[in-house]
Structure 1
């Protein structure tokens, strides 16, 4: 069974792209960090450590303290794929993160993004 190449991509290489996407829409790096920490259970120092270690997505999510229980409420389409229908658990986590950053960039209120 082959794995998707994003699994081996360093989270630290994609993270600045998330921040750039948000900042282009007048959102902040802090908001991106808040979303990532909400989803994964990392605190800000844990997130920074993952970036410094340049861990790949597989390791980033494997070492995540705890995926938020409300992450199952994340629904919608990313890159033409419905996130709730993704079979591979790791790919679904990556798509959840992509969807949350998309929602931030589209101007959604943080409370709705964090499924409060």
Structure 2
């Protein structure tokens, strides 16, 4: 799917630390935990809890966040629609990675089993 250069620039420049509290609120409101959220982020990015906190403290953009990440080899198995975009059709690599994270968090909040979220079964 074609995203506009403006949209891609906006995604790249979003600050992880400003979006992170919304992730926490979203999953906790649905009965999931911050620990589960971190497990999902860790699976996708390879970051430890300390790494996640470092990204928050440094107020990194999503561009920097994903430059420093080691994306899980099964990330390509994340498919579906999020924020009105079909993930597998997003042509901008960074925007696709951010949508991967959004999709995983959405699945967590919707009560999907962790094994399915982490694409282990």
Q: TM-score surpassing 0.5?
A: yes
Give me the CA root mean square deviation: 1.0
How big is the shift at 1:79?
A: 1.5
Instruction: Report the TM-score, using the length of structure 1 for normalisation.
Output: 0.95
Gaps of 5+ in 2: none
Larger RCO, structures 1/2 (Cα 8 Å, 6+ apart): 2
Partner of 2:68: 63
How big is the shift at 1:112?
A: 0.4
Instruction: Report the TM-score, using the length of structure 2 for normalisation.
Output: 0.91
Question: After TM superposition, where is structure 1 displaced by more than 2 Å over at least 4 residues in a row?
Answer: 1-4
1:101 aligns with 2:105: yes
Gaps of 5+ in 1: none
Which residue of the other structure, out of 23, 33, 40, is the alignment partner of 1:35? 40
The number of residues matched between the two structures is 115
* Deviation string, structure 1 residues 52-100 (Cα, Å, up to 9, x no partner): 1000000000011x10000000011001211111100000000000000
